[in-house]
Chain A
Amino acid sequence: MAEDSFDVQGFARDINVLLVLSTLRHGARHGYQIALDVETESNGLFRFRHGTLYPILHRLEEDGLIHGRWSRREKGRRRKEYTLTSKGEAYLRGEADRVETVVDRLLRMVRGPGEATA
């Protein structure tokens, strides 16, 4: 039986979503802090530039995977912080498994049969 086809074009977008969700697993973060955390935790491998983070955050918020709320900081300044919802946590777990399977299969193909994956 044929499996569901894999959307290669959407893979980069899915990775960005996973990066954002995994950062929020550690607690509430605001926009640029998420970008910094992604960059720091990946040792600079992943980087959000030119505001690309905002459409991802807003879509995830619309889908109910994260929740945004305004918090008041020192000197009365406000900023929008995002937290992971329970739906987001479940999505993150499912997507992490899916990506693992995809990467595993990709490496098997690239390295040839019999080679162990990293």
Chain B
Amino acid sequence: MTAHGVASSTLAAVSGQISAPLPAKTQFLRELAADLQELTARLQAEGVPGDEARRRAIDALVPDAETARRLERLHASWYVRATSHWSADRLRRIERALLALCFLGVLVVQTRALGAADFLGYRSPFLWPVLGAGALTVTAVAVKAFQLWVKADHREPRSGLRLIPLLSVAPFAIAVLGICVDGVIVSAALERTPELAGTLLLRSLIQDAALMAVALLFGLLGALGWLVTSQWVAVQEDAYRRTLALEDGAPIHGSRSSALIP
């Protein structure tokens, strides 16, 4: 639903005042737009001139600063509510520690998984950089998911989204580089010891296959994470823009403003 006759600038000003998760904010703005529209129409039907009717409707229905704070608290995520008494500095430290734990956790889990699959016995020297880039990719997806769905901080919903596909390509690029370098090393070894050709080629083949499999796995995980998060953001932004009757590409979050009456 668009804002129809209701000035979208009024809704945009309200939006700038409320720092709630995007789905809740869009729902509220829709509700407010519908009520403003109906109340304005009702007042006009009672003989109140258009501008005056709109002003009265805004005065009655648009939240003041205190009400906006109450709406923010009400729609805050469980995480924000649970950590609301912590200082910003403490929260930042804890979130950074969680980030580091996530990265290390992914590294440990993937190393154990590779060990269990007997991949480490045929590891390329490039396996560790691929694992590192893969852990970074998974961590970036986890950070974005945390921001969108746990913290529900949607002030900049697209921040960091572009980083995920770039990071997803990194393990694959490193693996390709590793396979090329391994090829050169194996060729040199074959030149020195042609009698070991069978063993060297087989080992190189397994090594490169393992490297590429790990890189592709992380690339797919990153691509899937990016697809899910970016699509979710796109759907929410589209609903928000339609509610405010904004053009595509218009900024989602205006600065806080008290100019509710345009």
Give A contacts to B, CB under 8 Å.
30-32, 35, 48-55, 58-59, 62, 77-80
> In the complex, what's the smallest C-beta–C-beta distance from A67 to chain B, in angstroms?
14
Please indicate the chain B residues that have their CB under 8 angstroms from the CB of A51 in the complex.
32, 61-64, 67
Q: In the complex the two chains form, what is the Cα distance from A31 to B34 in whole Å?
A: 9
Please indicate the chain B residues that have their CB under 8 angstroms from the CB of A78 in the complex.
1, 30, 34
Selected contact of A49 from candidates B4, B31, B60, B71, CB within 8 Å:
B60
Q: Is B37 an interface residue (CB 8 A)?
A: yes
Residue of A nearest to B68 (CB): A51
Q: In the complex the two chains form, what is the Cα distance from A62 to B37 in whole Å?
A: 25
In the bound complex, do residue A31 and residue B74 qualify as a contact, i.e. CB atoms below 8 Å apart?
A: no
DSSP majority for the B interface? helix
Bin chain B's interface residue count: 20 to 34
Q: Which 3 A-B pairs have the closest CB atoms?
A: A51-B63, A79-B34, A50-B64
Q: Is B119 an interface residue (CB 8 A)?
A: no
Given contacts A31-B61, A32-B38, A35-B60, contact A54 B75 (CB under 8 A): no
In the bound complex, do residue B74 and residue A55 qualify as a contact, i.e. CB atoms below 8 Å apart?
A: yes
Q: Is B182 an interface residue (CB 8 A)?
A: no
Q: In the complex the two chains form, what is the Cα distance from A52 to B30 in whole Å?
A: 16
> In the complex, what's the smallest C-beta–C-beta distance from A6 to chain B, in angstroms?
23
Give B contacts to A, CB under 8 Å.
1, 4, 27-28, 30-32, 34-35, 37-39, 59-64, 67, 70-71, 74-75
Please indicate the chain B residues that have their CB under 8 angstroms from the CB of A35 in the complex.
60-61
Q: In the complex the two chains form, what is the Cα distance from A48 to B35 in whole Å?
A: 14
Given contacts A32-B38, A77-B34, A80-B30, contact A52 B63 (CB under 8 A): yes
> In the complex, what's the smallest C-beta–C-beta distance from A103 to chain B, in angstroms?
26
Q: Report 25 cross-chain contacts, Cβ distance below 8 Å, ordered by A residue.
A: A30-B38, A32-B35, A32-B38, A32-B39, A32-B60, A35-B61, A48-B60, A50-B63, A51-B61, A51-B63, A51-B67, A52-B63, A52-B67, A54-B31, A54-B67, A55-B67, A58-B28, A58-B75, A59-B74, A62-B74, A77-B37, A78-B34, A79-B34, A79-B35, A80-B34
